[in-house]
Amino acid sequence: MQNNTMTKKRVSFHTLGCRLNFSETGSIAQGFADRGYEVVEFGNEADVVFLNTCTVTDGADSTCRNLIRKAQGASPEAKIVVAGCYAQMEAEKIKKMQGVDLILGTSEKYKVFEYLDSEEDLAVHIDKSSDFYGAATTTVDSHTRAFLKIQDGCNYVCSFCIIPFARGRSRAISVSDALSEAKRLANNGFKEIILTGVNIGEYEATSGEKLVDLVKSIVDIKEIKRLRLGSVEPNTMTEELVRTLKDSGKYQDHFHIPLQSASNDILKSMRRKYDIAQYKEMQAMVQSYFPQAAFGADVIVGYPGESEEQFLETFNFLRHSPITHFHIFPYSKRKGTTAAKLDDQIQVGVKKDRVKTLMMLGDAKLDEFSQNAVGQTSEVLFESLQDGYWEGYTSHYLRVRVKSDLDLKNEIRNIKLSNFTAGKLYGEFF
Ligand code: SF4
């Protein structure tokens, strides 16, 4: 007789940092599921705990330590894997932390299955090679939108950023591999794909194909109805790319283009590859193809030496710009970067105030943008039922809720945006 009491092995995950990391965790989780593991929530008892770390700030150390402690508390017998950017940069430090079984760098994390069975008490695998690992895909809390990782690493040297050291030089998936992955996603029912990476504007396959070529082939997949790009560096937002997105008829009306600062002196010190006049020109070019576009941007406040006037330049630029989806970060010193060595680090209190000021501006602008959308019609890809409402995103990346008895999961419907109340946008069928 078969033993029905045999239990599946369990794995839990905790991810820190950027969207790309989340996307990669999704892919690794899929690998565990394919091998018969049950994926349980972090904090529950598990046989393996996988921590996908980030090293963007100096706080990574203590965050990592806390997570390990939490993982051990929840399942004292579990194998604890510390992987990703922090592992890549600080393997020696992690080795000294009690309870860690396996340390895997940014590319080695995909090989976790090979290493799990190792008899070693503490194994460390950090690879400095520049191969492309993991066409990683995952959903955003629903089975409707998928991230497709097309690029990793970065060749830029922005003064505040550790990513080029943690993830290595830029490399990309081939167009044909990306295409087969996108087709697989389409066959699994995904209607929206978000192309992600560290610096996707620099996508270049070894065959020489660029992001425009990749976009052209992906939008040909009939079942993929909507396409988005993750963050695109302003200097890589070329007119050819924007025209291709427009011609595809599938690109959604939202662009995420990092700004970081609107002060030319700060941009120069950051070693960004544009000045504010070029950024504005790029925005105008995008608007000439997508006149109603919503824009999102990352902004760093309190960069070393940022004066009140320079902060106000950023504030005023943002106030008058079409940017409505703000992602504000206080500058955080990261050892090993040029900016960490600069004098004139800004006091924590000042950074906090500046973050708050920009957040308030961002909230007000997003509210106004949502309010102005009332009365318009929009296609929404519905994801999930929340508090009796079906929710999904409009083309402009506004989350909208609609009352309906129908099962709208993964359905694209045209709705009329009917009102914006208490920070929530509502729609109705017409
Ligand atoms: S573009 Fe700059 S900020 Fe972005 S990953 Fe590369 S170095 Fe870091």
* Nearest atom within ligand 1 for CA of residue 233: 1
In the predicted structure, residue 409 carries a pLDDT above the cut 90: yes
pLDDT score of 5: 43
* Nearest atom within ligand 1 for CA of residue 260: 3
* Nearest atom within ligand 1 for CA of residue 155: 6
pLDDT single digits (tens) 169-222: 999 999 999 999 899 889 989 999 999 999 999 999 888 999 999 999 999 999
Mean pLDDT of 380-396: 94
The amino acid present at 362, given as its one-letter code, is G
Tell me, using a 6 A CB cutoff, whether residue 154 lines ligand 1: yes
Nearest to 306 by CA among 263, 338, 257: 263
Residue nearest to atom 1 of ligand 1 (CA): 156
Bridge partners (DSSP) of residue 192 are 145, 226
Mutation pick for ligand 1 pocket among 18, 85, 156 (CB with most ligand atoms within 8 Å): 156
Bridge partners (DSSP) of residue 413 are 380
pLDDT score of 90: 85
* Nearest atom within ligand 1 for CA of residue 154: 6
The pLDDT-based confidence of 3 (bands split at 50, 70, 90) is: very low
Mean pLDDT of 414-429: 96
Pairing of strands 389-394, 399-402: antiparallel
Residue 234 tokens, joined: 């302003």
Tell me, using a 6 A CB cutoff, whether residue 198 lines ligand 1: yes
Q: Which CATH superfamily is domain 10-125 in?
A: Methylthiotransferase, N-terminal domain (3.40.50.12160)
CATH class of 137-373: alpha beta
Three-class DSSP labels, 312-357 = HHHHHHHHHCCEEEEEEEECCCCCCCCHHHCCCCCCHHHHHHHHHH
Tell me, using a 6 A CB cutoff, whether residue 144 lines ligand 1: no
The pLDDT-based confidence of 111 (bands split at 50, 70, 90) is: confident
pLDDT score of 166: 85
Domain ranges, ordered by start, for the chain = 10-125, 137-373, 377-428
Residue 142 tokens, joined: 């629903």
pLDDT-above-70 percentage for the chain: 92
User: Which residue's structure tokens are 């020489």?
Assistant: 208
CATH class of 377-428: mainly beta
Q: CA-CA distance, 86 to 82, in Å (whole number)?
A: 8
The pLDDT-based confidence of 120 (bands split at 50, 70, 90) is: low
State in Å: Cα 319 to ligand 1 middle: 25
Q: CA-CA distance, 368 to 336, in Å (whole number)?
A: 41
pLDDT single digits (tens) 33-65: 889 999 999 989 999 999 999 877 667 778 888
In the predicted structure, residue 373 carries a pLDDT above the cut 80: yes
